[in-house]
Structure 1
């Protein structure tokens, strides 16, 4: 049975029902279930969020199944509507999803706003496992706690200690923090890293910024508030970040590294 009302958006609900049914038809008896993770699972999604999904499979996807899934995800963004352009997710082999032993495995993945699928570890993380196990929204299939083992707090914290060091260099590969969107993304991600380091839990982008405004050194509150208020602006390749804000973002990253070393 497929649920039909798992987000506040009717259009998205209909799309997810269609995606789940199509994936089930393509995958046959290899289909395990379909789940939302990310902001829609954490309860803090809005029109500036993408919709993150996982559709686990019992066995590695065959060539014919992959062709059909690629055709499906190539077609969905051509449909009318808003949410057809905002799906993102992976098709993990369920045994690789179950525990951290599966880290590093590539899964068939569709990126936000893309039409071409790729093989990627993007969703194969401690954070995704924690989110889908603890808060995953079931579109179809068993309770996600039956599929994903508990993620130890130190595993989450350990990953955040690594991510805080590599964040800005990794970000520079695909977007510059001299762009306003990239600068806001960097601040937001640093806040999420520090939240998880502090609590051994995962939260949404919006919740992380609000937490940081309340809990971090007040000298960063203006920077975090600027990132929060800028969520509605979206991505604009012509919108440059102001030089002082870029400099403050780099300083915030250094601050985050120092905090991470102590936690």
Structure 2
């Protein structure tokens, strides 16, 4: 099995087959990264994929891929609405020299593909290289070089000052899920700065629980225990948790 979910495995296999049929000889392979590659995927995760190509999708191929991703969320099932990933050309995927190159991107829960750098990060390459799951094609380690530790740390140092503002641009701060996401993001950022590795959301929270000052144990425990609640746009943050989250953000910035 590729993942713990039979339905998701079938969807990934179908995605790989469809992409191969559309892309023809420009198709290389389909791979899973993110939480499922880190052995931490669950029903509150999306499934992150990368489809490697010899060249960026050409106009005719792009139209067919757009039709494919417009259709998938309309199919029956749970996981059809929880895919996220990019079509990455092999040249820009191989090393961090390719950072900044837009890839054709399917955002979680969306039906319209866009050209974006969302997946084009050192983190994506590190997960693919170290833990990527091959759905179809050659081993992913043959397509992605080792990621320099400093590249991972530099990316996190650059992101740290604007985490709160960046999240607020797309996730409402008066929703409990957002509060949990912010705490988790700071934990993952700190983990990468300290280790030059990438942890799953839960893995980073558990690492932080054992690493940071004990003053933050209640906040981290709350986020871990509430993860199962998932996304509910009507659920406000627990009383006082958003203020505590802001203080935690300032603490992480100080010790990073």
Shorter-chain TM range is over 0.9
Q: Tell me by how many angstroms 1:243 deviates.
A: 4.9
Secondary structure of the structure 1 residue equivalent to 2:251: helix
Please state if 1:126 is matched with 2:125: no
Superposition TM-score, scaled by structure 1 size: 0.95
1:225 corresponds to:
221
Indicate the RMSD between aligned Cα atoms, in angstroms. Answer: 1.0
CA distance in 2, matches of 1:153, 1:258: 21
2:96 corresponds to:
100
* Consecutive unaligned residues in structure 1, runs of 5 or more: none
Q: How does 1:158-237 map to 2 (within 5 A)?
A: 158-237=154-233
Q: Tell me by how many angstroms 1:242 deviates.
A: 3.7
Moved over 2 A (4+): none
CA distance in 2, matches of 1:30, 1:229: 45
Secondary structure of the structure 2 residue equivalent to 1:33: strand
Secondary structure of the structure 2 residue equivalent to 1:183: helix
CA distance in 2, matches of 1:178, 1:230: 16
CA distance in 1, matches of 2:164, 2:51: 30
> Compared with structure 1, are the counterparts of its residues 221 and 41 closer, same or farther at alpha carbon in structure 2 (3 Å cutoff)?
same
Please state if 1:142 is matched with 2:138: yes
User: What is the CA deviation profile of residues 141-162 of structure 1, one whole-angstrom value per residue up to 9, with x for unaligned ones?
Assistant: 1111111111111111111111
Superposition TM-score, scaled by structure 2 size: 0.97
Q: Tell me by how many angstroms 1:168 deviates.
A: 0.5
* Consecutive unaligned residues in structure 2, runs of 5 or more: none
Secondary structure of the structure 2 residue equivalent to 1:92: strand
1:81 corresponds to:
77
CA distance in 2, matches of 1:242, 1:79: 35
CA distance in 2, matches of 1:164, 1:217: 19
Q: Tell me by how many angstroms 1:78 deviates.
A: 0.8
Contact 1:33 1:140 in 2 (8 A): yes
CA distance in 2, matches of 1:9, 1:175: 28
Q: Tell me by how many angstroms 1:86 deviates.
A: 0.6
User: What is the CA deviation profile of residues 127-154 of structure 1, one whole-angstrom value per residue up to 9, with x for unaligned ones?
Assistant: 0010001110011111111111111111
Contact 1:177 1:186 in 2 (8 A): no
Q: Tell me by how many angstroms 1:105 deviates.
A: 1.0
